[in-house]
Amino acid sequence: MKSLVVVDKADKSVICTAFANGKRHDFRLYKESNIRVKPEIVVKTDTGFIGITKIHANSALPKKSSKNNPLTEEDKLFNKEIASERAANEHGIGFVKRFKILSERYRNRRRRFGLRFNLIAGICNFDR
């Protein structure tokens, strides 16, 4: 099971979710889920969403290094800034993982995974 979680940075609440069976790339799941973000909102993602700038121009991705092109000090500072801003989102995802639905193998019916996950996200949002 693959899940995509969109978290609000301000209050760490889960805004929307998307799910897929089997192995699925993060960006492919984003494109297939039809999650749309207003153009004025800055989307901060990890390196699994390379190509999101074609869909959402106002997005920030960390720079990747390669064997021939190591990161400069500017790039490292940029990546650190994005990581520190994404920490609040990761805390929101971690709060949902306390219910073990994402952190362990899901052994129940797959068709109800989305329903159960959304219920847990609602409980987490209510708790904040």
Summarised one tens digit per residue, pLDDT across range 41-86 is 888 888 888 888 888 888 888 998 888 999 999 999 999 999 998 8
Give the span between the Cα atoms of 7 and 65, in whole angstroms: 27
Range of the domain at 115: 2-127
CA atoms within 13 A on the CB side of 1: 19
Task: Count structural domains, the chain.
Answer: 1
Q: What is the per-residue DSSP string for 18-60?
A: EEESS---HHHHHHHHT----TTSPEE--GGGTTHHHH-SSEE
pLDDT of residue 74: 95
59: CB partners within 8 A, 6+ apart: 42, 43, 44, 45, 49, 52, 53
